[in-house]
Amino acid sequence: MRLPELTRKTTTPRAVDAPASRERNIFTVTSGQEKLALPVEYVHTIFRIARITPVPCGPKEVVGLANLRGKIVTVVSLRRRLGMPDAGEGVSPLAIGIEHLGESIALLVDAVGDVITVSEKDRIAAPPHLAPQRIGVTAAVYAYNDGILSVLDMDALFDFSHPERGGLNAPASEPTFTHFHRQGNQS
């Protein structure tokens, strides 16, 4: 069976041979009104952040730093990364603890869902209505229930060095989040 596949090097889907029975587990989250997914192997913990210390001169997506069980983590807003407005104030932010390229990250989300299993037979081409910024951080799109579910590309999601690149367009050899920290500390 030939299925379309989103790839890192192009935003144009290409057909590949993929066994229909191949499945993967993903973790669902909500940001704004959108249900999205993260590769389950990146998710380490879910927690509420009591206090965020702002970091000046960083990318707008980086909200600041927080303490997670005695470890300092970088706090990244999924809403901001996807070009959405910030959520209202008054609620202690919900975060997903992620380890990516040796960095500890707290990804702010509005809600967490479940671990679900998706099949390659449900993988589809990215719909043309998705914003380029969203496609830039999407690794795959699946038909799910009566809609679609975008699985986020973790390399692209945390690559702040080139905001116009990411996801399907990012070269696999480009440094990502670690590169940001080296540059960010120079100012």
pLDDT at 173: 37
21-180: CATH, from 3.30.360.10, 3.90.1150.10, 3.30.1330.10, 2.40.50.180: 2.40.50.180
Whole-structure pTM over 0.85, yes or no?
A: no
44 has pLDDT over 70 = yes
| Banded model confidence at residue 162, pLDDT cuts 50, 70, 90 | low
Beta carbons of 21 and 3 less than 8 angstroms apart? no
Say how far apart CA 156 and CA 135 lie, in whole Å: 10
Domain edges within the chain:
21-180
Q: What are phi and psi of 136, to 5 degrees?
A: -60, -20
Alpha-carbon torsion angle 173, 81, 31, 118, nearest 10? -20
Q: What is the pLDDT of residue 90?
A: 62
Using CA atoms, how far apart are residues 111 and 30, in angstroms rounded to an integer? Answer: 5
Three-class secondary structure of residue 168 per DSSP:
helix
pLDDT of 180 above 70 = no
Cα 109 to Cα 11, 90, 98, 127, distances in angstroms: 26, 15, 12, 23
Q: Which residue type does 51 have? A: R
Bridge partners (DSSP) of residue 103 are 100
